[in-house]
Structure 1
Amino acid sequence: MLVLGLTGGIASGKSTVSKRLQEEHHITVIDADKIARQIVEPGRPAYKKIVRYFGDKITDLILPDGTLNRSALGAYVFQNKGELQVLNKITHGQVRKEMLWLMLCSWLKLESIVVLDVPLLFEAGMDIICGTIISVVCEPKIQLERLMERNPELSRAECEKRIASQMSNDDKIKRSDYVLDNNNSVEELNEKIDSVIRKVQPSLWVTLLEYIPFIGALFAIKSVARRWWTHYEIRRQSKTD
């Protein structure tokens, strides 16, 4: 089973790509954002940790129905990188567990591809388990315009901070196997998506071979080793620059 990592900055068009993969190509997409919302529902371990840590810092953290005020939490952590790291530390571990379980379910169903839709794929270290990685990017100006249109409640400065808090497009591109430029129309983006899927779609024989324990292990080791080597090369280049 090919584990296809899908990532992209906020308002880059990643959700459009995810929707296309599900509706047109009938590929299972494991959505990290959706899981992240589920794990912070009242009573869940991550919810309790967030309330315990941020409760005294954000006055309106809890809504009348007991759920988290995600807007207030987001506004607070994006003003403070250190607090954002704390929030990520609380949630990332739980998100990983849920995603791994859903990956296992897809594997048991003999699916040839499963997509991990993760905004912070590289930052969370989940790229290491991906056989192929696709990044969706667009020009910063377009990204800002889209974010302001999508979230009118955010000021221009708040939108800029949210974009700046994420990994740059250049760094994503270095770590990706395919890059989808989303500066133009949805139709053009769809054509690019379809082209990539045609290239990466495993054959039936490859999919079946991966279910032979020894061969499957070799495929997994090869994939992790290739991703590790990419990390190593990037670190080496950054030291020489």
Structure 2
Amino acid sequence: MPDPIFAHPRLAAVYDTFDGDRDDLEAYEEIVAELGAGSVLDVGCGTGCLALRLAGRGLRVTGVDPAEASLEVARGKPGAGRVRWCAEIPAGEVFDVAVMTGNVAQVFLTDDDWAAVLRAVHGVLRPGGLLVFETRRPEYRAWDEWAARTGPVVREVPGVGRVEQRFALTSVRLPLVSLRYTYTFADGEVLTSDSTLRFRDRIDLHAGLTAAGFRVVEVRQAPDRPAQERVLLCEKPR
């Protein structure tokens, strides 16, 4: 079940404002162009930022996310009609590339859930197609930086008004790290969203991908967070 930050209509409506400029998405646009892809599956597309950018380049794009509230936000954006929006990975379609941006690959907490999404993606990629995703390096210990975050963040959200966001690191039990966002709206409503991420090391990543039928062809650094994340390019063999 998606976290409230994505699934609650009021939280999904303010997500983009707090998420800020998505400088990380430029790297994905460049990789898709480098691969010469004509069709892209955006797994965990959220409010559709990358899907819309790719569709604007003339690609056939399907955005998949189980959080209907986030998909509703995506559908309301300019150019949304160029993207097919789905709650599940569609059967019967074939894609050149599949992507998972941000923390999407880390929300699958169990080996079974991770294996299931990898198998599903593998099933809709053409032979020679690639899965491209990023994941945080556990050795960087991002949670230490998160624990140091103090004070609220306040934003004026278009159409909503003033919203305050507070963050708390709630648990570190590796490979799982949990956190909480608390939002206070101008009308006094307070909403919280708890999330847990799984930090897989390189051995775990390669084992899971191999078991699902992928071959890791390249591991890059995330340009916006060098040395902090891996960006994996994984091929479905021909």
Q: Same fold (TM over 0.5)?
A: no
When normalised by structure 1's length, the TM-score is 0.27
When normalised by structure 2's length, the TM-score is 0.27
Q: Which has the larger radius of gyration?
A: 1
1 or 2 for the larger relative contact order (CA 8 Å, sep ≥6)?
1
Larger proportion of strand: 2
Larger proportion of helix: 1
